[in-house]
Structure 1
Amino acid sequence: MGGQLGFLYRQLTFRPKPRSQSTSLANKTALITGSNSGLGLEAALQHTSHSLPHLILAVRDPSKASPEFEVEVWPLDQEDYISIVAFGKRVIGLERCGYVLLNAGVTMLEFSASSKTGHERNVQINHTSTALLPLLLILTLTSEGHSWIPFHERPTPDILAHMDEPSTFGPLMQRYYTTKLLNVLWIRGLSSRGRKRGGGRCFVDTVVNHESSHRDYLSEQAVVKPSGFVLSLEGEEVQKRFWRETAELLRRVEEVDLPSFVD
């Protein structure tokens, strides 16, 4: 059963399988963004139950992170490119980092432009900053909702600039789900260029048990197909154009030095 009704049915009936107690994350470091509450915090708790020795919570406001276990809490403001670049340099300085889970995001139901970048905040936080982080780390998390939206913005010559216009915002959750489609398009583009590196239980299952699922979309602990649009010829064309738009936007950020493969 697909679509929104299928999603609601699975939300009510699907129970994530817990990791076997024999699963060990010893000698690993895990980094989770947006991890001071909600699914990010639950994923952190799941990691610590499997002998993980080093956990980094990346949060916008470290004072709001109060886990019941010993961790490092690093600041990361996804509306601030200086904060993102500083965070990336700090991660690169780690002796090792086994898993990175990019969970941070927002759901803004009314149009709001970021005071720091000028871009619409759903797009800035959920897509642009989430697209930049893997480039800095050379190592995402999206949503089934990417298959539900009409994506009216796709014919425009500059999708990101068009989405900064308040008149394009759309009703209810439409903009949020559009940013999740942008995540899918970006990651599919990234996976064809960069080197192949690799509730809360689903997140942990993704990073622990699906290391070979490069470029794949996972839902409910299984590899599934993304939306029909993503797999269509039109989707492939929009993906290539959108990759160029996002890369060009990031090149204009003075603090960012993009990898050479971002052509």
Structure 2
Amino acid sequence: MNLETIKNLQTSLKALENQLINHQQNRAVVENVEGQIASLKGQNDFNLLQGIKKNLELLNGAFCDEKGLGKLNLMLHNAKIPPKYYDIFYAMLAQATPPPPPCQTPLCIDCGAHAGLISDIILHCGGRVECFEPNIYLNFFLKRKFENNKNVKIHQKAVSNKAGKTQFLTFQNRILSQGNRIVESVQDSETSGAYEVEIINLCEFLEQKEERIYLLKLDVEGAEFDILPHLIEKRFYEKIDFIVCETHEYMFENGYEKLEQIQKELQKRGVKNVFLDWC
């Protein structure tokens, strides 16, 4: 369904409403509405079948190719990564295959790791990952998943442009929600509780890394607008191969202006490896 379809349906419904108000009986108006609704239902049914077909193909590929591309494609789809970014992970497979002499496996930083779906993909591609996730409940699952994996380091901390402690806000009383955050926003009226978490200065953390970082992922529920200007000012895009970020401009009254300023700064500097439309 697109905006044009919705507008056409609104026009038809308005015509039907006027007919009912005026006690008219023009069958063509009714048939027009019925036809549009039937068309939408048919398109929805088609999309549903196509989705089922694709999922079955991905499951079949993963079953037959558990350690290879089949499993990777299912993981990428499950994590809702835009297909245009699949190559970031395909390329990691090549980097993680050591020619003589053995190379170091790619290092990735997963900020806002949540349930570890992106970290799972990084590991499948032969990388190493440091996870940042302040949610105390999600950390239970992360530790259970990765506690014996030498290629994973878990930090039960939030990331920001400063270090210290702050309140981690619970959105709509959902303790596992991706809407939980450390920043104030227009959603504060839907915040039902909070608990204290540790925060780190992400730029200072990155500056301590001597090796090159392959991927930095930011999905930090609005804190990206505190972090990104400093990352750009310190030119971390020159030290990191890919920086991907899910932005949450809708959380702020001036969120779209914040995003536009960052986009303009990246464009002015000619930065090509920072992507702000992740997921």
**Normalised by the size of structure 1, how large is the TM-score?**
0.42
Structure number with bigger Rg: 2
Q: Which has the higher contact order (CA 8 A, sep 6+)?
A: 1
The structure that is strand-richer by fraction is 2
**Normalised by the size of structure 2, how large is the TM-score?**
0.40
